[in-house]
């Protein structure tokens, strides 16, 4: 009986297991830990996310992080939720945030005033 | 002058550890890309639980970051092997805490759920996990490291702290046991 499953079938299962990857959100947490350890992120090591209530629960129902285009979504979501320092998100995005913000992940006063100005007089 | 991403990509893990310890954030990113998937897959297959595997992988990587300042790039340990070892130990600790561990090289406990019962509503990876879960602890680790992570036997021996001959024996017995456990489920797994 065992002969019927020998060789290729088990190897194919192993090959399938090799394609399993870590979730983008885990990658963000790990990088945040790295920067925290390096003493430059300004935040302690990040807590593990257990449970899936609220916004994260909604995301899980939508198919999880892959539904939001992977690592970028995780980084942006982390930034928008205030979970991760901008430096972490920038690192995850390979410097794209720095480029977008004109060289710094912390907006200067002119940028902020310009953004406020976009809303017009109130 | 900072190294470009291409230059960093060409470096070995040891060199990246040194750069990370010196404050190079891109080194952390590349190390994460290279090593996190390995730690996660290893823990996921040994534990059979994705959430627990994420915890273990994150903890193992955290220990790697903390080890960086004292890392000896010319020492015998490689970051990859070191991380596998930490992941293996953390996974074993987790298994023992939740009381599902099979002894180092013992026969299967009679209370272990059958592969068939665990496969009823599960997918192919769940079936593999169910079969792996029935292996003794070291067999499971050796099979995962050899056949899923692709490590050579000497590196597995280093990770598990045993001899190369013992690794050969564990992987051979483990693969036979897996084959036997999954043999009757070939059609359910989509083969044949």
Let me know whether B110 and B182 are in one domain. Answer: yes
Query: CA distances (Å), B154 to each of A18, B96, B105, in order?
Result: 20, 26, 20
Please identify among residues 4-23 of chain B the ones whose CB lies closer than 8 Å to any CB of chain A: 5, 20, 23
Let me know whether B108 and B185 are in one domain. Answer: yes
**What is the block-wise mean pLDDT of chain A (122 residues), using blocks of 10 residues?**
65 91 93 88 46 46 49 59 67 64 56 48 41
Best residue in A11, A21, A23, A26 to probe B by mutation, most B CBs within 10 Å? A26
**Residue A112 exposed, middle or buried by CB count within 10 Å (0-12, 13-18, 19+):** exposed
Let me know whether B59 and B6 are in one domain. Answer: yes
- Contact check, Cβ <8 Å, A87/B25: yes
Give helix then strand counts, H and E, for chain A.
7, 0
Q: Using a CB-CB distance cutoff of 8 angstroms, which residues of chain A are in contact with residue B26?
A: 91
Of B40, B180, B191, the CB nearest to A22: B40
Looking at the 3D structure of chain A, how many domains does it have? 1
The domain of A40 spans 23-117
Domain assignment of residue A12, yes or no: no
CATH of the domain at B159: 1.10.10.10
User: What's the pLDDT at A114?
Assistant: 53
Question: How far B104 CA sits from the closest chain A CA (Å)?
Answer: 22
Q: How many Å apart are CA A118 and CA A112, to the nearest integer?
A: 10
Looking at the 3D structure of chain B, how many domains does it have? 2
List pLDDT tens digits, range B133-177.
Answer: 999 999 999 999 999 999 999 999 999 999 999 999 999 999 999
Among B42, B76, B110, the domain-final residue is B76
Domain assignment of residue B94, yes or no: no
Domain assignment of residue B30, yes or no: yes
Let me know whether B4 and B69 are in one domain. Answer: yes
Let me know whether B65 and B141 are in one domain. Answer: no
Provide ipTM, 2 decimals.
0.84
Tokens representing B151 are 């490590």
Question: How far B86 CA sits from the closest chain A CA (Å)?
Answer: 15
Residue A56 in contact with residue A25, Cβ under 8 Å?
no
Q: How many Å apart are CA A68 and CA A58, to the nearest integer?
A: 12
The domain of B63 spans 1-76
């Amino acid at each position: 009986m065992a002969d019927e499953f020998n060789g290729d079938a088990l190897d194919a299962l192993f090959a399938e297991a090799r394609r399993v990857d870590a979730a983008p959100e885990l990658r963000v947490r790990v990088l945040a830990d790295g920067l925290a350890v390096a003493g430059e992120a300004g935040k302690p090591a990040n807590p593990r996310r257990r449970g899936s209530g609220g916004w994260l629960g909604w995301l899980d129902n939508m198919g999880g992080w892959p539904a939001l285009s992977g690592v970028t979504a995780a980084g942006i979501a982390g930034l928008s939720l205030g979970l991760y320092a901008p430096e972490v998100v920038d690192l995850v995005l390979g410097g794209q945030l720095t480029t977008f913000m004109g060289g710094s992940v912390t907006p200067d006063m002119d940028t902020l005033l310009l953004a406020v100005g976009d809303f017009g007089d109130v | 002058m900072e190294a470009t991403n291409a230059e960093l990509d060409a470096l070995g893990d040891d060199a990246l550890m040194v750069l990370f310890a010196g404050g190079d954030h891109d080194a952390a990113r590349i190390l994460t890309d290279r090593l996190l998937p390995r730690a996660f897959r290893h823990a996921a297959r040994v534990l059979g639980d994705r959430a627990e595997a994420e915890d273990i992988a994150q903890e193992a990587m955290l220990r790697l970051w903390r080890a960086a300042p004292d890392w000896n790039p010319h020492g015998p340990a490689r970051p990859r092997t070191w991380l596998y070892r930490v992941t293996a130990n953390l996974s074993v600790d987790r298994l023992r805490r939740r009381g599902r561990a099979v002894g180092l090289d013992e026969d299967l406990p009679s209370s272990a759920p059958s592969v068939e019962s665990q496969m009823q509503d599960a997918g192919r990876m769940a079936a593999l996990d169910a079969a792996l879960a029935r292996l003794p602890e070291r067999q499971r680790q050796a099979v995962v490291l050899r056949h899923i992570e692709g490590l050579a036997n000497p590196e597995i021996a280093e990770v598990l702290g045993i001899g190369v001959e013992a690794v050969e024996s564990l992987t051979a017995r483990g693969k036979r046991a897996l084959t036997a456990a999954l043999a009757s489920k070939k059609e359910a797994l989509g083969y044949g």
